[in-house]
A and B are shown apart, each in its own frame.
Chain A
Amino acid sequence: MTVQGESAEHQWVDDHAGPVVRPYAVTGGRARPVTGTFDLISLVTATRKDVSPEIGIGPEHLAIVGLCQRMQSVAEIAAHLDLPVGTVRVLLGDLVARNLVQIREPQSTLGIPDHSIFEAVINGLRAL
């Protein structure tokens, strides 16, 4: 089978057909991650360029590592892979347990944002 970029897999079915694999099949039936809570806006970065397939690492895990070569939020990963957030959290737990991704918790879990954050956002928005 040859895969020609991203579009190839989307040619199999359109959006209306729904997922080919049920969400919990992707996680092996697990509903909770082995580690971590993963806020929607926790930022995920891959720790390696690529990962060779091994036991317990499926194509969706590899897809996340590929996607997170550039920092992505949990919500973005779910949207790009077209998987429910709960499923992505389980997969991320597996990757964290193997040190394949790094998680940066959102500002809110680090305490109330200080003035500099608010000012940076206001200035950033003005500059858009």
Chain B
Amino acid sequence: MDYGHSERPSGAAALPTAIKILVAGGFGVGKTTMVGAVSETRPLRTEEVLTESGVGIDDLSGVETKQTTTVAMDFGRITISDDLVLYLFGTPGQDRFWFVWDELALGAIGAVVLADTRRLADCFPSIDYFEGRGTPFLVAVNCFEGARQYRLDEVQAALNLDPEVPVLLCDARNRESAKEVLITLVEHAMKVRDARRRAE
């Protein structure tokens, strides 16, 4: 028993613990769809009510009646085992809520950035955010019907991504496809972690 950290389990994952993965991207790109495709229940919604002090980043001048802002987050749960639960959080669609992003990203093992090739620029803020924070991420191109298919190296070049960042095609509605995206992300996150360990 480690008395210095009484909350800490003595063995790895000996006690129930939770980890999270974020699903980010522009508005309407399929974040909640992907969360729902792999979660054990339909996506749940939770809300943070930001009071005036919390929304200092928002310019509320001229909107005197508006004292609070509500930010909704959709999320899902995957029970990996009795002692390990994975939560998937869709980031709030409005990129200006960085306050909430910081809370979500804290301790996340990685992030999926969903992209739509018809509106590729919509995922720039997410990519910038995770690059800046050092959160391992990948880009999953959601294949919308009617969208022109680009080659993955074209997308990689257009997004100016580090060559190590995985880029893959997906169908956010499809469970197997969403699973594949998550597995690729966790494998990537593990590689990033190991590389950082070696560099230390």
**Which A positions have Cβ atoms within 8 angstroms of B?**
23, 31, 39-43, 71, 73, 75-76, 78-80, 84-87, 104-110, 112-122, 124-126, 128
Do residues B183 and A125 form an inter-chain contact, with CB atoms below 8 A?
A: yes
Do residues A105 and B7 form an inter-chain contact, with CB atoms below 8 A?
A: yes
CB-based closest 3 A-B pairs = A108-B107, A124-B80, A79-B44
**Which residues from B are CB-within-8-Å of A108?**
19-20, 106-109
Do residues A118 and B18 form an inter-chain contact, with CB atoms below 8 A?
A: no
Do residues A43 and B16 form an inter-chain contact, with CB atoms below 8 A?
A: yes
What are some 9 contacts across the A-B interface (CB < 8 A)? A40-B46, A75-B73, A106-B17, A113-B193, A120-B13, A122-B187, A125-B38, A125-B179, A126-B179
Q: Does B15 contact A (CB under 8 A)?
A: yes
Do residues B49 and A124 form an inter-chain contact, with CB atoms below 8 A?
A: no
Question: What range describes how many residues of B lie at the interface?
Answer: 35 or more
Q: What residue in chain B is nearest A112 (Cβ atoms)? A: B193
Do residues A76 and B77 form an inter-chain contact, with CB atoms below 8 A?
A: yes
User: Known interface pairs A110-B9, A116-B12, A122-B186. Does A75 touch B107 (Cβ–Cβ under 8 Å)?
Assistant: no
Q: Does B8 contact A (CB under 8 A)?
A: yes
